[in-house]
Amino acid sequence: MKVQREPFKLACIQFEPVIGRVEDNLRAMEKHTRDACAAGATVVVLPELADSGYVFADKQELASLAQPIPEGRSARVLIELAQELGIYIVSGLAEKEGDAFYNSAIFCGPDGYIGRFRKLHLWDMENPIFDPGDLGLPVFDTAIGKIGLAICYDGWFPELFRSLALAGAELVCIPTNWVPMPAQPEGTEAMSNTLHRAAAHSNGLFIACADRVGVERGQPFIGQSLIIGPKGWALAGPASRDREETLIAEIDLSQIPTSRVLNENNNIIGDRRPDVYGDPIIGK
């Protein structure tokens, strides 16, 4: 696809979904997205499971809230919104397909539905109720560049970012519901931010993480959404730990090739030694 190599604005929306209140959540998602678009955003990233909430009582509750992608109500709202506004939207959604349930992300744009990603690495009590993702690591070739997706705990696996980079991804959008990490000292930078900054630097990628805030059924979420450039430094954020807010940063994907050059003798991708450690297997 022919890519328009112009810088664009990306927004990460940090808000507080409410468990089980899909219509209320969709209204909040739409409002925040419209506000971000009015501020100039071409790409909007929303949190993980933004339509349903996160802490399900059991699989039966999940089944009552999950919907198909792209046919379901939540997906259709976002697809139509992206078309109306002429922007790209990435959002976490609870997905149902047959008897299976996935922690998924939808990707849609000015021309409608583009694709979806299903979370590969399930966290804690997601394991009894969700099925592991089975769509691999797609990289979507769009008019603004090559976009990869991941969700929350997927970001703890360096192989994921390397696989996406080798498949041509320039920007990775990550809906997330980060929770406190055990034994993290009070007041220190979130481990999630450290991991994603390292992944951006070591792969020469833009990475956009949209987290949620609040406490849901006793589970606190840590906020601190972040937009990172390909050198590993924050372009916007970290956001607050407990407030709804929207981060906006300018993304220039034409920087990717030069960002991977550390000096005249070193290239972060070109210096790899797959003869020693092999290459990760890239999913479909």
Beta-sheet strands, E only, within 125-220: 139-142, 145-149, 171-175, 206-210, 215-216, 219-220
Residue 218 in tokens:
């006793």
Rounded alpha-carbon distances, angstroms, from residue 46 to 57, 91, 222: 23, 5, 15
φ/ψ of residue 232, rounded to 5: 95, 0
Q: Are strands 145-149 and 234-236 parallel, antiparallel or unpaired?
A: unpaired
Active site includes 48? yes
The residue from 16, 48, 95, 170 that is catalytic is 48
Active site residue 152: yes
For residue 272, give the 3-state DSSP assignment: coil
277: enclosing H helix or E strand: helix 274-277
Q: Report residue 151 as tokens.
A: 């969700």
Residues 37 and 42: their CA atoms lie apart, in Å, by 7
Angle at 262 between CA 256 and CA 267, to 5 degrees: 70
Angle at 106 between CA 128 and CA 16, to 5 degrees: 70
Of 37, 152, 173, 209, the catalytic one is 152
Whether the CB-CB separation of 170 and 144 falls below 8 Å is answered with no
Q: Which of 9, 96, 119, 146 is catalytic?
A: 119
DSSP E strand stretches across 22-155: 41-45, 88-97, 100-109, 112-118, 139-142, 145-149
First to last CA, the chain: 19
d(CA 57, CA 38): 37
- List active site positions: 48, 119, 152
